[in-house]
Amino acid sequence: MNRQQLKDNIFGKRSVLCVGLDTDLSKIPVHLLNDEDPVFAFNKAIIDATKDFAVSYKLNTAFYEAQGIKGWISMEKTLNYIPKDIFTIADAKRGDIGNTSEQYARTFFHTYPFDSVTVAPYMGSDSVQPFLGFEDKWAIVLGLTSNAGSADFQLQPSGKEMMYQRVLKTVASWGTPDNIMFVIGATRKEQLQEVRQLLPKHFFLVPGVGAQGGDVDTVCRNAMNDDAGLLINVSRGVIYVSGKEDFADKAHEAAKQYQKEMSVFF
């Protein structure tokens, strides 16, 4: 999916909602466990309930890989079920030496045709650039995260700037705003403002809204650009609102509320 197609869907729905399908067998409603493929049954119901409000779905591959071959099958079925006009993210956090990254890129752009994949930049340019050679595909690079451990490296000085600032500027130079996004945590408005000033044109994938304490208003006010420039990920706050048979209806209501909060910025 190219930038214009993503933008058109965002402005058409007046939404920047990304629903995280971090599907955990221990958390889905028990009545689904008798299904031949409980994970896909759950995901299918969530997609049906939220697709009118979501512009993206993010599949955290760890939740599928942990189930072995069954999990990979569930992931592929889920990816194929998502409407083609909705942006898909393989949250795989890959990144290795060049020839290995080339295979990771083929995995998530050809074998499983996601629109994007999350990438860790620690090993440098040769770990990221193989993901940038695919038309209308995106690398979503870890930039500034909201977890406690981010202070160990990201918030440490690197010369006259913080490490995360150096990473953002360096990685941005490897590609363009049409094939690189960045993961930017949602919990501090000052950092959102600072990162947006540093990268005025790039899209940000923003976790941390909902269960982790971030909120839509803070993110949109401090990090939107002319193309919206945001995908705000919500996982638990949509897919696990209810653990009962009404889980899809509750997910629908939650996604609709998030879209309502986002719509005022369009």
Active site annotation includes 93: yes
Tokens of 4: 């214009």
The H helix count followed by the E strand count for the chain is 12, 10
Please pick, among 44, 77, 93, 256, the residue that the annotation labels catalytic: 93
Q: What's the full length of the chain, in residues?
A: 266
- CA dist., res. 199 & res. 129, Å (int): 19
Q: End-to-end distance of the chain based on CA atoms, in angstroms?
A: 22
Four-CA torsion 77, 243, 232, 5, nearest 10 degrees: 30
Return the SS3 of 123: coil
Which residues pair with residue 117 across a beta bridge? 90, 139
Residue in the structure block whose two tokens are 């689904």 = 32
Query: Where in the sequence numbering do the catalytic residues fall?
Result: 93
